[in-house]
Structure 1
Amino acid sequence: MCQPPAVALSLTLSVLAESPTASAALVVPHSPVGEHTDLAAVREFARHCDVVTFDHEHVPADVLAALEADGIPLHPSPAALVHAQDKLAMRRRLTELGLPCPRWAQARTAQEVEEFAAQVGWPIVVKAPRGGYDGKGVQVCRSLAEVEPWLSGVGEAGLVDGLLLEEAVDFTRELAVMVARSPSGQAAAWPVAQTVQTDGVCTEVLVPAPDLDEDLAVAAVEGALRIAGELGVTGVMAMELFEVAGPSGAGTADGSAGSAYLVNELAMRPHNSGHWTIDGSVTSQFEQHLRAVLDLPLGDPSTRAPWTVMGNVLGGEHPDLYPTYRHLMARDPGLKIHLYGKGVRPGRKLGHVTVFGGDGSAGSLAELRERARHAADYLQGVIDE
């Protein structure tokens, strides 16, 4: 999705693709095939690049270190990226910075799990520090017996440093803040979005987050910008957070009554919660990421309309989604459809739809949500009319 803004900016992209039929390889002319874990392949690829950036956080540390040693500009840097790769590193650093987080602990033994649960109460959230995404590598556990299978894997890949334990937050809703920062320190932020999760996967994004307290919105954006600055992030960063009723025992934005937020996770790349920006913002997160990693002046992140609603399209009954276009385009000419060129698999994110407009009222937001839901459901075969 960086390719269209790259063409507009007269930039040439290269992608290290996992296969010749990978989504990016279908649209980026220079897409050599190789694994991100293959040091030789990554070094050969990077040798031809002016700047290297990432579309996921799973590039091994030794590969990143080798690129740094080769003098390849990396954005974000490995020193920043580790806070998106390693949830324990993230929790430690955010706690040091005084950012509001759920209560958490590192655990390698059953005793450490029991001690943490005694402090915060069951259930607790167990996370693999590395490798998890879209609900994978995360489990809500209600007893030590449910944690024990995780403990048996401690020391293996993803669990080398043990488990990340967190309190189960009683949150009002989930929010996301997208920001961008350039190497020269310029920064920009989009409005706070509300994200709706289904079985751990984001299915809907509402922008701006409806009925969000203005002070909380400001505090959340300021928090994300502070994180980006303190960690030295370059490029786009997503901060996923919980809105909670304050004051919270876990910490709040300002310690006052009313709503507050707790930081859930970070991603240092264009993120699914920001895909709405392609159609709903003056500058999309993909264009902004390119501007940022090249240290170009950042673009305007303002929204184009009072409301923007994005619905994720997940794999369903239709093996081929393209035939659904005619119906949806005729039914809703204002609908924007984005498919990613992925093979259909149940529950897999295959694309998204976006609608924007309205007059700012709750009624106009409800209408937009219905339009987006219909389109996403039709694409994945949930409905047939």
Structure 2
Amino acid sequence: MSLSKRVSHIKPAPTLQLSAKINELKAKGVDIVGFGAGEPDFDTPDFVKSACMQAIKEGKTKYTPSAGILELREALSEKLRKENSIEYSPSEIVITAGAKMALYLVFLALLDEGDEVLLPSPYWVSYPEQIMLCGGLPVLVHLREEEGFVLTAENLKPYITEKTKMLVLNSPSNPTGAVVPEEELKKIVEMCVEKGIFIVSDECYEAFIYDGKKFVSPASLSKEAREITFTINAFSKTFSMTGWRVGYVACPQRYAKVIADINSQTISNATSFAQYGALQALKDPQAKTFVKHMKETFERRRNLAYELLQEIPGISVVKPEGAFYIFPNLKIYSNKLGSDLKLVEYLIEEGKVACVPGSAFGAEGYVRISYCVSEDTIREGINRIKTALEKLS
């Protein structure tokens, strides 16, 4: 009796593993600074909680359509039109159990055995695992620190083959915080249109772009771009609703119908009352103020983390333009210990500070630091990293 070949390669998400380890240490009374969590430290706003509880009281606890409640899809259609300049009808939107499920459903709907998927690296930990689970082959497009980890059309060209089926775009990026400039995005999209390559656009961090820059959805760039793009997002980051598991995919109707059908045969639908909370997040007049406050807070924290990391001898760091992560290069120290995993273990044991190893994102020698913590915690944590690294010098 053996497991399927499909799951023989799969690994647990290291970010969730690290969060579990941090919580375990804290429960034992260990004073540890955790930079591992990929979720805002803000509570879900009360207006979202209240709408969810009201939905429960009103008995909105039964099955919903597999594509999600119509009111939420209508509100998302309006949001995408106003904020992203993309016209999607409600029938072209499917509500899923988080953006992670939306990604998986798209891969499942489009990939056949051996199809190649262009995956800029460093990448979010779940992309390659999901692609392989669906029979695809991740083709890593290596990005350079010297170029700010920004994807370009020139980067992509050498990796395109007859088997290339899709490109995964994540801008702003997890783990680097890199943002693809609009002019470069246009070139990438035009190349994909010309060569018939699908674009899977993970836009979960769209609300968090700094220095006055604006977010651009690939599907908004042309009619042709809209036809090949799967726009994926969630309420997790923007409204601090990570545990609610409400995400969505917007795409041409012929694909949306299939994705909704897969949804119906797997999870049936995203949690009914959570969908009503998400609906309120889009409708409530307080929402814009809440998101603006989060963005301004994260931008201040980014600036602080960047300044403090620059003071540590022997490392280099790119200033992130979005998301809420910073990705310093600690190769000079990880090489002394043999790997970035051993470096992270050392930082936990010696410095009582937890980061995620860059190898989890396809970038050995780096670490991901999430600045979803207070400014005092950022100062304390990075000071602990500095002190611990000095002992290795």
TM-score normalised over the length of structure 1? 0.29
Higher strand fraction (1 or 2): 1
Q: Which has the higher contact order (CA 8 A, sep 6+)?
A: 2
TM-score normalised over the length of structure 2? 0.29
Higher helix fraction (1 or 2): 2
